[in-house]
Structure 1
């Protein structure tokens, strides 16, 4: 039987734990209360004004049934708004608020610092190689996920 350190699933889970902890610490130190998923959703809404929740879920590879809670929290924080769609009265479009734009601008240095910290211990070449290999492995397994990343994503 393989040691956990030889299992890609174990290593991916450990890296995810570290990534979330680092993100939360950096963002909290900067005075913000935003999770990685909330940040991804907010940035994606800013880049795609008027998108709906289902499209957002696909763009950030997040489960469609739980994206509602993420959006609820962003709305409660005053960072996004739901509006009736001009194309489909049943659908709700998502828009970033001025407070959401301000938050994204202010939080960017903390998010960038978190990304650097996650890759510390690696040379620039190693970090680039890791990112390239992660993208390759993720692309190959994308459709196996319960929340596959959809085309047109950021």
Structure 2
């Protein structure tokens, strides 16, 4: 009989839920009005700068409608704003606000210990191997490019 619990995808999915729940609890405990989905958007914006809605949807692996709802909530919270670049006013970019940037140290104060807890007791070589395997699994699941 097939044992899904003995597969990497099972543990990847479980870990995703555990990280989300632990992050949410940490944000709440720290007095941050921030959902894990909003944290994911902020991590993209902090790392890459302003993004089009389509790009945010692609990088967070969510449909555009869901990302629009997340961004709408974040706009109301003053964490992001929509702006049209001067070179093309038809395109709307989502950007982190100064208020969001000011939250970054508090967010990292929750996330860095979470990562440290998750990685406790794992030798760096094992972590590097796991990262390589996870990247390969992700690459295997990417849709083929239109050209090939």
For the aligned pair, the TM-score class normalised by the smaller chain equals 0.7 to 0.9
Partner of residue 6, structure 2: 6
Partner of residue 151, structure 1: none
Distance 1:36 1:132 in 2: 25
Question: Alpha-carbon deviations, 1:54-84, whole Å to 9, x = none?
Answer: 1222233332231101111111111111123
Partner of residue 100, structure 1: 100
Change in 2 beyond 3 A, CA 1:63/1:118: farther
What TM-score does the superposition give when structure 2 sets the normalisation length? Answer: 0.82
Residue 26 of structure 1 and its aligned partner are, at CA, apart by 2.1
Residue 114 of structure 1 and its aligned partner are, at CA, apart by 1.4
Q: Does structure 2 conserve the Cα–Cα contact (< 8 Å) formed by 1:84 and 1:92? A: yes
Change in 2 beyond 3 A, CA 1:47/1:15: closer
Distance 2:123 2:47 in 1: 31
Structure 1, 68-77 or 79-88: larger mean CA deviation: 79-88
- Unpaired runs of 5+ residues, structure 2, are none
Question: Alpha-carbon deviations, 1:18-57, whole Å to 9, x = none?
Answer: 1211221222222212233211211222333342111222
Distance 1:141 1:4 in 2: 18
- Unpaired runs of 5+ residues, structure 1, are 145-154
More helix by share: 2
Change in 2 beyond 3 A, CA 1:36/1:86: same
What TM-score does the superposition give when structure 1 sets the normalisation length? Answer: 0.79
Structure 1, 31-40 or 94-103: larger mean CA deviation: 31-40
Matched length = 144
Distance 2:25 2:121 in 1: 19
Distance 2:134 2:90 in 1: 38
Distance 1:143 1:123 in 2: 33
